[in-house]
Amino acid sequence: MSNPIKNNVVGAFEAKNNLGQLLDKVARGEVIVITRHGTPVARLVPFAESFDRTDSQRAAEEMRELRQGVFLPEGLSIRDLVNEGRR
């Protein structure tokens, strides 16, 4: 029997019947595109944490440090800058 998964593109029916094999490939770092009637509809990708709290906290602290000593000129407000950007 031939392998229904070619070039990491597989039809929906084959994906359903070969999910275990597809998951093995994805676990090795491959990306699988699932099609329906030849049109790509989904992508199986290796799992990755999408949110790193430590990096976010570090970035926020760096922004706080950057703004130290930065002031608007006398008579100018954030609202004035926002309105200026809308023109």
d(CA 59, CA 55): 6
pLDDT value at position 5? 62
- Do residue 17 and residue 36 come from a single domain? yes
pLDDT 10s digit of each residue in the chain, 87 long?
A: 456 666 799 999 999 999 999 999 999 999 999 999 999 999 999 988 777 788 889 999 999 998 888 888 888 888 888 988 877
Number of domains in the chain: 2
DSSP 8-class letter at 50 = S
Distance CA 5, CA 26 (A): 13
- For 32, the domain range is 9-44
Nearest CA to 22 out of 40, 31, 41 is that of 31
Q: 58 lies in a domain?
A: yes
